[in-house]
Amino acid sequence: MENFVIVTDSTSDLPKDIKDKYGIEIIPLCINIGEDIYKDGVELSTIELFDLAEEKKTLPKTSAIAPAEFAEVFNKYISQGKKVLFIGIGSGFSATLQNAYIALEDFEKDVFIVDSEKLTIGTGFVVLKACEMREAGKTVEETIEVLNDYRKKVRTYFAISTLEYLHKGGRCSGTARLFGAMLKISPIIRVAENHMEVAKKPRGKFEKALDELLNYLDEDLKDKNVDLTRIALIYPHPKALEDVEYMKKGLLERGIKDVLVTTAGCTISTHCGPRTIGLAYMLNK
């Protein structure tokens, strides 16, 4: 097996047992609440995030990993004679990947970077594929070649119960937030190649939005184009646990038992609010 280390950032939202199993190095982004700065998932949990935001009456802000932080991690492994493969949050969502490339200028070789083009566990799926390639004895170059195609097969959708956090984060106007509240809209956000888009705007109970998530999956299941071993549900806060159970029931009705359930980190949660559900899965082709 080639001796290369797989590194990702905290937005990949991989569960601890998977990170431990494959020895994945996680570099955290930072969360700024007022004058205080916390490392995502290290110094701040999502429960603490929303509690502090309420207490301080301010919206948390996120900041990318600095080039110096990348350089420190890269150097740690290069000095041990290892190659490094960094797979990060899509470059369309954060300056994190750009900063990784800045750090790369200090290393002549043996550091490789892949843009996942995704968010949260969508990035995590790309990381997991890299781990499987390494376990199969593939080189880092062979792994990257596969990942460049594999990342295109990731499907990620989010159902958001309120436009409040998107508005506070500057991702929707005050007018849109007002009408969204009046009409009880729970938007479906689709993550495409390095950007997000509002795919649908279901009205009424939040369960209607969750049903829309399942409808997207149904369309791909018709063509038998879904990798049934790689389906995940993402949620940011215990307030969404009932919604997780609703989704799990829907997946079970479709014969899907092997579901990875994971919590979104602070970086993602800052922009969507506590009652949000994400559905991610892989296409076969």
Q: Give the pLDDT confidence of 206-256 residue by residue, as tens digits.
A: 999 999 999 999 999 998 999 999 999 999 999 999 999 999 999 999 999
- Rounded to an integer, what distance in angstroms lies between the CA atom of residue 3 and that of residue 86? 14
How are strands ordered across the β-sheet holding 4-9?
25-27, 4-9, 83-88, 111-115
Question: Which tens digits make up the pLDDT trace of 127-173?
Answer: 999 999 999 999 999 999 999 999 999 999 999 886 565 545 444 43
- Rounded to an integer, what distance in angstroms lies between the CA atom of residue 42 and that of residue 2? 30
- Three-state DSSP at 142 gives helix
The predicted pLDDT at position 167 comes to 44
The predicted pLDDT at position 54 comes to 83
Contact (Cβ atoms closer than 8 angstroms) between residue 205 and residue 225: no
Task: Read off the tokens for 274.
Answer: 């506590």
DSSP 8-state class, residue 170: T
Q: Domain 153-283, what architecture?
A: 2-Layer Sandwich (3.30)
The stretches of the chain forming alpha helices (DSSP H) are: 16-22, 46-56, 67-78, 96-104, 120-135, 140-150, 164-168, 174-182, 206-222, 241-253, 266-272
Q: Token match 């849109």: residue? A: 176
4-152 and 153-283, same CATH topology: no
- For helices 120-135 and 140-150, give the axis angle rounded to 10 degrees: 140
Mean pLDDT computed over 3-28: 96
- pLDDT confidence bin for 120, thresholds 50/70/90: very high
Domain ranges of the chain: 4-152, 153-283
Residue scoring higher pLDDT (271 or 278):
278
Going by C-alpha positions, the residue among 98, 101, 125, 128 that lies closest to residue 112 is 101
Task: Read off the tokens for 224.
Answer: 């038998």
Question: Which tens digits make up the pLDDT trace of 169-214?
Answer: 444 433 333 333 433 678 888 998 888 888 888 887 899 999 999 9
Residue 160 is inside which H or E element, if any? Answer: strand 154-160
Residue 1 pLDDT > 70: no
**4-152 has which CATH code?**
3.40.50.10170
